[in-house]
């Protein structure tokens, strides 16, 4: 995958997100809500999930570009919704996100609850809008993405495990982080008219890799670099791979997961380019401090 192609992916995602968010805006709507919704989505983080989804759709031939954009957008909107709700005072009470006040810190908890709700609704509306010329892919996109977000196995369920006295650790991590990565690869394939199932393994491995990288960042980075509070896992008694395996062990685990992900890419016209892209992308979420750690 060339730099130009990667830039094209970024540009498609930002354009599609902007269009989707504009549908939630109106001069007659409540101004603070619409401001909070846009604030929750822009400027974004690395957009890892939608980039992954769109990259898979392109590797599969990009047969329905609007559906692929809609799937990527829906996944990012749902990710943003989960961040807004997870940051609420009744959960992590995080006042910082992406280097600036979190939505509830900037707008108050009521508007943060509502902005998250509106983003969930907008995600599904976006799928309907993006499949007007290829309605046959709408059901599979909805069920694939819906399953990754809702109860019993999606990100909402993942967050809910934090409210249980006994946590099923594998189920927790799969739901909280893995599910949306699996949806990203599966929905990308489905948006191009391909069977999504062979693509789940790629998403699952990358989700696990991302979780390990996130655990390492929580331990290795400083707050300014991370754009959110550090040491949260220890403070909130959450499991952390770096704490369990040590930093060297966690780094090795992360490399193995990326290798397994890349090897799992199904045969398709864009497989070689997708492999290159994923290698380049995953480097981005390795904390730079890891370069100093002996393998």
Q: Which of 60, 70, 122, 290 binds a copy of itself (CB under 8 A)?
A: 122
184 half-sphere exposure, CB direction, 13 A CA radius: 27
Does residue 103 touch a copy of itself according to CB under 8 A?
Answer: no
Q: Which of 2, 11, 100, 110 binds a copy of itself (CB under 8 A)?
A: 110
* Minimum distance, C-beta of residue 59 to a copy of itself, in the bound complex (Å): 25
Q: Collect all residues with Cβ–Cβ distance below 8 Å to 166 and sequence separation of at least 6.
A: none
The minimum distance between CB 206 and a copy of itself, in angstroms, equals 22
Minimum CB distance to a copy of itself, residue 132 (Å):
7
160 touches a copy of itself (CB under 8 A): yes
Residue closer to a copy of itself by CB (options 29, 227) is 29
> Which one of 50-58, 141-149, 194-202, 231-239 is the stretch in contact with a copy of itself (CB under 8 A)?
141-149
Q: Which x/- pattern, by CB under 8 A, does the window 36-75 give for a copy of itself?
A: -x--------------------------------------
Please state, in angstroms and rounded to a whole number, the distance separating the CA atoms of residues 232 and 93: 11
236 binds a copy of itself (CB under 8 A): no
Could you tell me which residues come within 8 angstroms of residue 103 by beta carbon, excluding any fewer than 6 positions away? 36, 39, 40, 84, 87, 97, 111, 112, 115, 116
Stretch that binds a copy of itself, among 2-10, 24-32, 179-187, 256-264 (CB under 8 A): 24-32
Of the residues 63, 129, 252, 275, which one makes contact with a copy of itself according to CB under 8 A: 129
In the complex, minimum distance from the CB of residue 180 to a copy of itself, in angstroms, rounded to a whole number? 12
1 binds a copy of itself (CB under 8 A): no
The per-residue DSSP string of the chain comes to --HHHHHHHHHHHHHHHHHHHHTT--TTS-HHHHHHHHHHHSS-S--HHHHHHHHHHHHTT-SSHHHHHHHHHHHHHHHHHHHHHHTSTTTT---EETTEE-HHHHH-HHHHHHHHHHHHHHHHHHHHHHTTT-GGGHHHHHHHHHHHHSTTTSHHHHHHHTTSSS--HHHHHIIIIIHHHHHHHHHHHHHTTS-SGGGHHHHHHHHHHHHHHHHHHHHH--HHHHTS-SSHHHHTT---HHHHHHHHHHHHHHHHHHHHHHHTPPP-TTHHHHHHHHHHHHHHHS-GGGGGS--
Candidates 130-138, 177-185, 196-204, 236-244; binding stretch for a copy of itself (CB under 8 A):
130-138
Segment interacting with a copy of itself (CB under 8 A) among 40-48, 145-153, 221-229, 284-292: 145-153
Which one of 127, 190, 247, 278 is in contact with a copy of itself (CB under 8 A)?
127
Choose, by CB under 8 A, the member of 19, 142, 221, 293 that binds a copy of itself.
Answer: 142
CB atoms within 10 A of CB 41: 24
Contact set with a copy of itself (CB under 8 A):
24-26, 28-34, 37, 81, 85, 88, 90-91, 108-111, 113-114, 116-118, 120-122, 124-125, 127-129, 131-132, 135-136, 138-139, 142-143, 146-147, 149-154, 156-157, 159-164, 168, 171
């Amino acid at each position: 995958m060339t730099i130009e192609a990667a830039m094209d992916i970024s540009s498609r995602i930002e354009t599609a997100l902007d269009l989707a968010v504009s549908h939630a805006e109106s001069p007659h709507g409540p101004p603070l809500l619409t401001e909070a919704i846009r604030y929750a989505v822009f400027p974004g983080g690395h957009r890892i999930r939608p980039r992954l989804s769109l990259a898979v759709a392109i590797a599969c031939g990009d047969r329905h570009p609007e559906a692929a954009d809609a799937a990527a957008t829906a996944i990012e909107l749902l990710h943003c919704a989960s961040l807004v709700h997870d940051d609420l005072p009744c959960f992590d009470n995080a006042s910082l996100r992406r280097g600036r006040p979190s939505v509830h810190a900037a707008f108050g908890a009521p508007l943060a609850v509502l902005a998250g709700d509106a983003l969930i609704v907008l995600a599904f509306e976006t799928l309907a809008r993006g499949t007007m010329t290829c309605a046959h892919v709408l059901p599979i996109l909805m069920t694939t993405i819906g399953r990754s977000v809702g109860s019993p196995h999606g990100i909402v369920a993942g967050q809910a495990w934090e409210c249980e006295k006994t946590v099923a650790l594998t189920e927790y991590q799969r739901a909280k982080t893995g599910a949306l990565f699996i949806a990203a690869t599966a929905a990308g394939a489905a948006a191009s008219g391909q069977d999504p199932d062979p693509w789940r393994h790629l998403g699952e491995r990358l989700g696990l890799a991302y979780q390990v990288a996130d655990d390492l960042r929580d331990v290795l980075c400083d707050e300014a670099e991370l754009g959110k509070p550090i040491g949260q896992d220890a403070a909130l008694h959450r499991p952390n791979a770096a704490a369990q395996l040590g930093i060297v062990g966690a780094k090795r685990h992360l490399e193995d997961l990326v290798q397994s992900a890349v090897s799992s890419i199904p045969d398709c016209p864009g497989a070689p380019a997708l492999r290159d892209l994923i290698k380049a992308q995953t480097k981005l979420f390795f904390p730079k401090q890891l370069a100093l750690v002996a393998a």
